[in-house]
Amino acid sequence: MAFLEFKDIDKSFGENHVIRKFNLEVEKGKFIVLLGPSGCGKSTLLRMIAGLEKIDEGKIFLENNLLNDLLPSKRQIAMVFQSYALYPHMNVFQNISFGLKSEKISKNEIKDKVIEAAKILKIEEFLDRKPKELSGGQRQRVAIGRAITRNPKLFLFDEPLSNLDAALRSEMRVEISKLHKKLKSNIVYVTHDQIEAMTLADKIVIMNKGKIEQFGTPDEIYDNPNNIFVAEFIGNPKMNIFKIKTKDIINKNTFKLFNKEIKFENSKFKNEFYVGIRPEHLSLENRSEISAEIKIDLIENLGSEKIIYTHVNGAEIRIKSTKNIKDKNITIYLPKNKLYLFDNNKNRLKT
């Protein structure tokens, strides 16, 4: 039995169809990330789980209990917002304990819960401070602490790190991951940041235009993308994609790429299709079946690695390398076993 289940969820705002027949089953104890571009419906879906947005069609179940008509306060769900949503006139202790006061529990129990949450999040020394006296990362910990004290069945995170700088985002990713392992709770986490998704998730839901493009572990999605949308969305820099035109198809299992003949025995090439390769799989040193002479357009120096930009036959290519490059004209190598094939509809071909 699924811990969290979505059945045929539909949602529109006027003529804008945001969620389309969304179906998903989530196991107990899993960290699920909803990942996709702005406008794909991920935050709307999160708000429907929380009861902050009406469901037009379909059903959401939590531990086999229908959530659709339950008030948000009755769902045993805690939500952490992007904006922290802290009360500026209250100190940290009061902010964390605010939701507990309506649960008719003793002051001592409230105090114990707040202190326990503060210890988990390492903010015990800030309990007397007001939000304005805290850094962005500390404010986010307070918001998470308020959620922890409610002991919910399900945590919802709506882009909680987007207001933080790069260093704090990295630090908070680690803290949230540790928190999940400690609490062994279910988390549904919304982000458009693939690094957050890859580092935090047990499983990722890649969303596009209100639909699921792929659902799987980070490694499954990275290594075996269902289509070009997923292949390009996951990975930085994004996957290089080359269109193979009809004139480049030699026979049912052979085509030309960079004037080199490439053969895939189990394929049947008839129509135009696409070939993809990730920037880190292109090599400047390891010779392989396919090569191309290139002129470097630009090099981004990231310290431990370089991102090289070039063009071949009109197609932009991105190469990730650790090598120091002095020449403008170099040879790149594309190993055949690292190529991804996609059909004319941009879906993955089996090879």
pLDDT in tens, 309-330: 998 877 889 999 988 888 888 8
Is residue 247 scored above 90 in pLDDT? Answer: yes
pLDDT in tens, 67-81: 999 999 889 999 988
Is residue 27 scored above 90 in pLDDT? Answer: yes
Band the pLDDT of 7: cuts 50, 70, 90.
very high
Band the pLDDT of 240: cuts 50, 70, 90.
very high
Provide the token pair at 250.
Answer: 């030699």
Residue 170: strand, helix, or coil = helix
Mean pLDDT over 150-166 rounds to 87
Band the pLDDT of 47: cuts 50, 70, 90.
very high
Residue-range domains of the chain with CATH? 4-233 (3.40.50.300), 240-342 (2.40.50.140)
Is residue 267 scored above 90 in pLDDT? Answer: no
Phi/psi at 249 (5° precision) = -90, 115
Query: Residue 289's pLDDT is what?
Result: 80
Percentage of the chain exceeding pLDDT 70 = 99
Q: Which of 77, 221, 94 is nearest to 153 (CA)?
A: 77
Residues 6 or more apart whose Cβ sits within 8 Å of residue 174: none
Q: Which of 293, 325, 298, 326 is nearest to 312 (CA)?
A: 293
pLDDT in tens, 216-231: 999 999 999 999 999 9
Strands (E), 143-282: 154-158, 186-191, 203-208, 211-216, 240-244, 249-251, 254-257, 260-263, 273-277
Provide the token pair at 199.
Answer: 């580092």
Residues 6 or more apart whose Cβ sits within 8 Å of residue 349: 267, 273, 341, 342, 343
What span, in angstroms and rounded, lies between the C-alpha atoms of 78 and 63?
A: 15
